Structure 1
Amino acid sequence: MSATITGYHNLELKPYQISLQELKIVKKINEHTKAFFTGIVSEDQKDKYIEMTEAQTPIEINQRGVSTDNVSVFKGIVTNIKVKSVRDIYYIEGEALSHTYLMDIKQKSRSFQNKDMTYQDLINNVINEYSGADCNDTVTRGDTIKKFIIQYQETDWQFLKRMASHFHTGLIPDLTSGKPKFYLGLPESASSQKIDNFHYSVGKNISGFWYSSENYLQNVTDTDFIYYEVETDAILDLGSEIDFKDRCFYVRESSALMHDGILKHHYILAPKIGLSHNNIYNHKIVGASIMGKVIDISNDNVRVHLEIDEKQNKDEAYWFPYSSIYTAEGNSGWYCMPENGDYVRVYFPDKQEENGIALNAVRQDKEKTENNKVDNPDVKYFRTKSGKELMFSPEEIVLTGKDNEVFVRINEKYGIEIYSTQPVKITSKEGIEMDCQKKIIMAAQDEINISCKESKISMDGATHINGSKVKIN
C-alpha cells in the first residue's frame, strides 16, 4: 500500500511524453482494468504518437518515488487513441486495458472431457497460448472438474470467469506485470492493511443478497452484503485485505480519478462473502448441437470426438447418453446404437453442458456405391455393419441375412420368395399348415423324404413308400 499523495508532477506515462491533464483508472473483479487519460502534446509529436501506436502497444503509468522506487499504477495495452486541436492546443486522449484483454478477443470452442482433469490443468491448457501468461490460483486447490465442460463460442477470459464462478469467485488482473497475468480468487496476503480517518459512506446490497441467497449461496445474511465506499490517497490492490473500523474487509472495486491536480482513490470495501460471485452460464450452448465421431460404445452410451477438438483421447472421453427413436423404462423400446466411426450430433438442451446427449447419426459418405443406398428416397433401409438388412420399397419388403445369398422377399406382385445358399429349416412344436387353392410344387435335385412315425416316402429317382399299412386307391 502506498499513501504518497500523487499529483501530475509525480506521474509518468510511457511511451507518451505528454503533460498529463486527466486520468481515470477503474478496477473491478472479473473485468479488465481500464485507464483513461488526457494530456497536452506538442505539435511536432501529435502525428507521431498516432502512427507509433499499434495493436498491443504497451502502456505504463507509474508513480515516481522520492526515496523509494517507482510504484506501478497501471500496466496494459492501448485500445484507442486520438489527437484533437482546441484553440491551437493539441490534446491526446487515450484508453487502455490491462494485458488480460489479450485473452478476451478471439472466441473459441473446445471441450474438456476428462472428468479427472484438475481445474489447474484446465487453466494451464487455456493460458499456454499466451506468452508469459500466468494464473495465481488461490481457490481450486487441486479439485477436479468432475464433469464434461465445454468452451463454446467464448473468449478465454469469458470461459475462465465461468470456471471461477464454480468456486463463487472471480478473476483479478495483475497490474504489476506486462503480461496477461491474473489471480483466480483473492490474492493471499500475510497481513491486512489498515486505513482510517477517511471520508466514507456505507450501504447494503439488499437485492444482491436476495438473489444470491435464494439461488446460489447458503448460510448468508444481509449483513454480509454491507459495503463501504472510502476515499483515500492510498493505493490499494483489488481483493486486498483491509482493516477498517476494526473489521476485516476486502477491496471489491477501485477507481482513481484526478481531482484538483491530486489522484484520489475511491474504494468499495465489503466482507469476504460480499465478494462472492454467482454461477455464470454460457447461454449460447442452449439448443446447440455439435458434430462428432463415435470412438467408443457401451450399453446406451457413446464416447465422441467432437469436431471442435483437434484430438481426443478415447479413455478420457466423456460418456454421453445416446438418444434413440424411442426408449422406454421397461422391456419395450428401440435399441439401435451407432457404430464406431459413425458421426453423431451432441445436443445441449439447457445451460448445464454436462446434460448433453448424443443423437441422430449423420451419414458423411455421399458417394453412390453398392452399400451406400441413398439414391432413392422412396426406398427405406435399416442395415447393420455386418450386412444384415431390412429394406422397404413401394413394391416389396426384403429381409437379408447375407447379400445375394440369404434373403426373404415379400413382393406384392410375385408373392413370397425364400432364398438361401445354406440349408433352410422350419421347426414347430405344434403344427404346420400348408393350404393351397391351386397347386404345390416340391422339387429337389437329389432327394425328397417325407416321414411320419413308421411311414416314409422317399424319392431319389425311384419312389419308395414304406409303412405298417399302405393303402392305394
Structure 2
Amino acid sequence: MATNVIAYDNLEISAFELKYLKELKITNSINNHSKLELVGLLPEDKGETYIYSTEENTPIEVHYKDDKGNKNSIFNGIISSVKVKANKDVYYLYVEAYSFTYLMDVVKKSCSFQNVNMTSHELVKSVIGLYSNADVVMNIPNVPIGEFILQYKETDWEFIRRIISKYNQGLFSEIQTPNIKLFCGVLENLEQQDLEINSYNVYKEIDTYEEMKKNYLLDANETDYIIYEVQSHKILKLGSSINFKNSSFYVSSVCNELKQGILCNKYKLQNKRGLRQNRLFNQEVIGISLDGQIIGVKRDRVQVSLKIDEGRDSGNAYWFPYSTIAGSPDGGGWYCMPEISEKIRVNCPTKDEKRAFVINAIATHSADKPDENDRMSNPDNKSLKTDSGQEVKFTPNGVLIECNGGQAKVNLNNDGTIDVIGQKNINLACAKGLSLRAENQLSISAVNGIDILCESGSNMIMTEGDEILLNGTRVHNNG
C-alpha cells in the first residue's frame, strides 16, 4: 500500500469527467455498506448531461496512481444518487454511491432452509451465488445448521448478516474490486502491517461493553472495547491486521476524506475480540403463520412444503413439532396427526424461527349451495373426518360413528337408543361372558334363519319353514 500523500488532483473518478474534485468522503464499517460522497466541478458543456446518462446500477470507481503509474482502486460501487447544482454557467455535481454489496440489500425475500445437514458455509454461498461474479470469504465455523432457518421479508444482505451473527461475527465489505465481495467474520492469518502513528485518540465504550457482557458475550472484557482513532496517509482495508504500539489490532472502521486537497485516512483500531457482534434476530417473524401442506408424518412431527418455497426442492424437509389439542408429559392426551397433502400453517411464536411449530390451517372448503351432505351447513354439528372415510359426528340428537359413508355405523341417541348397523357382518366376541338383558322384551329376528350354538356341540336352529331344531347330548323340554 502507498504511504505517499494522495492529493485531490491524483484522484480519478471513473463515471464522470470533472474539472475539479472539491469534496470526497468514503466510509466503511462492519455490517454496513461502504458509502461514497463526492462533490465536483463539471465542465460547462456537461451541465445536466450526467443527470440523464446515469442509470440504475451505474458503476463508479475512485482510484489513484502510484509513483510507478500503477492504478490503485480505493472504492468500487454503484451510484445511488446524482444531483447537479447550477449557478449561471457553473455546475457542481453531487454524487452518492454504495459498495456493490448494496445490490444484495434491495429486494425483500421470503424462503426457508429446512435441510438440517446443510452447513453454514453452504447456506451463505447458496445466497451469494445468486449474484453474478459475487465472491465470499468465510471465517465462521463450517458446521451443519441443525435447525429450521427462515428468511422472511429480509434482503439477502440482512439475512446473511443475521445468520453469521449466530457466531458473533460481522460482514466486511471489500471495495477494492468491481464486484460483490464479502468477508464473513474477521480473517485469520492476515499479513500484519506496521503503522507508525505519533498522535491518536483513545477511548473506551463502557456502555457497549456492558450491553455485550450482560446480553450477548459473557466472556467480554473491558479491554475489548478500547478504541484507538488514528490518522495515516496509508490506505488500509476494513478488517486489516495492524501492528500498533507493539500490539495486534484490527481496523474496525474506515473514513477516507479530502481535507484541504489532501486525502486523510482515519481508522478505528480494536483488538480482535472487540470486533465480535451481538446476535441479530428478525423481528418480522414474531407471530407469523406460513401456509403450507403436509408431505410427511412421523409420530408427533410433520414435514411441510411451504407456499413461500414454491418451485424449490422440498427434499430433506425439516421435521416440525405438531401442535395437538391437548397433551401431557406422560404421553397422554389427544393424538390426531394430519394427513399427507393436508393444508396447515407453520407458526413462529418468537423472534427465533427455530421455535416454529405446525398448527391446523383455516378451512378453505366452501359450498355455494349448502345441502345435507355439507359438513359445515349446520354449526350445531361437530365432526371429525379422515381422508379414508371414517367420521365421528356430534349433533344435538346424539353421536354418530361411521365408516366409508355408512357401510358400518353406530348411533348413540339422546333418547337412550343405540343403533348398530353393518352392511355385511356384525361380530360380537368376548373372552368370558356375554349378557343380553332387557327389562321388558328382547327381540331377535332374521330373514332366513337363526342359529344359536355352543362350541361343545349343542345348538338350536330356527328355520324359515317354521321349524325349531334342537340338538344336544341331552334335551330338556318343560312344555
Verify same fold: TM over 0.5.
yes
Moved more, 97-106 or 173-182: 173-182
Moved more, 416-425 or 348-357: 416-425
Asked if the contact 2:197–2:231 (Cα under 8 Å) also holds between the matched residues in 1, the reply is no
Structure 1 length normalisation: TM-score?
A: 0.93
Match of 1:435 in 2: 438
Asked if the contact 1:199–1:232 (Cα under 8 Å) also holds between the matched residues in 2, the reply is no
Asked if the contact 2:25–2:256 (Cα under 8 Å) also holds between the matched residues in 1, the reply is yes
Match of 2:283 in 1: 283
| Paired residues for 1:270-419 under 5 Å | 270-311=270-311, 313=313, 315-366=315-366, 373-412=375-414, 415-419=417-421
Aligned equivalents of 2:266 and 2:155: distance in 1?
30
Aligned equivalents of 1:150 and 1:57: distance in 2?
32
| Paired residues for 1:54-453 under 5 Å | 54-86=55-87, 88-140=89-141, 142-188=142-188, 190-311=190-311, 313=313, 315-366=315-366, 373-412=375-414, 415-428=417-430, 429-430=432-433, 432-437=435-440, 439-450=441-452
Per-residue deviation, 1:315? 4.9
Equivalent AA in structure 2 for residue 404 of structure 1: G
Aligned equivalents of 1:314 and 1:445: distance in 2?
58
Aligned equivalents of 1:373 and 1:90: distance in 2?
75
Equivalent AA in structure 1 for residue 234 of structure 2: A
Equivalent AA in structure 2 for residue 444 of structure 1: A
Which SS does the other structure have where 2:402 is aligned? strand
Per-residue deviation, 1:312? 5.6
Aligned equivalents of 2:243 and 2:355: distance in 1?
44
Per-residue deviation, 1:432? 2.4
For residues 15-71 of structure 1, the C-alpha deviation after alignment (integer angstroms, 9 at most, x for no partner) is 111121011111101110001011111332121100001110111111132324121
Residues 372 and 318 of structure 1: CA distance in aligned 2, closer, same or farther (over 3 Å): farther
Aligned equivalents of 1:198 and 1:68: distance in 2?
30
Equivalent AA in structure 1 for residue 258 of structure 2: M
For residues 192-229 of structure 1, the C-alpha deviation after alignment (integer angstroms, 9 at most, x for no partner) is 11111343111111122222222322433211211100
2:13 equivalent to 1:13:
yes
Per-residue deviation, 1:237? 0.4
Residues 312 and 371 of structure 1: CA distance in aligned 2, closer, same or farther (over 3 Å): farther
Which SS does the other structure have where 1:46 is aligned? coil
Per-residue deviation, 1:446? 1.7
For residues 343-364 of structure 1, the C-alpha deviation after alignment (integer angstroms, 9 at most, x for no partner) is 1111111122111111114444
For residues 317-364 of structure 1, the C-alpha deviation after alignment (integer angstroms, 9 at most, x for no partner) is 111010111111125300000011111111111122111111114444
Aligned equivalents of 1:263 and 1:189: distance in 2?
29
Asked if the contact 2:449–2:461 (Cα under 8 Å) also holds between the matched residues in 1, the reply is yes
Aligned equivalents of 2:374 and 2:248: distance in 1?
71
Aligned equivalents of 2:36 and 2:312: distance in 1?
42
For residues 390-439 of structure 1, the C-alpha deviation after alignment (integer angstroms, 9 at most, x for no partner) is 112333421103323211123447943221122223345345243244x5
Aligned equivalents of 2:212 and 2:412: distance in 1?
66
Number of equivalenced pairs = 470
Structure 2 length normalisation: TM-score?
A: 0.92
- Structure 1 gap segments, 5+ residues each: none
Match of 1:44 in 2: 45
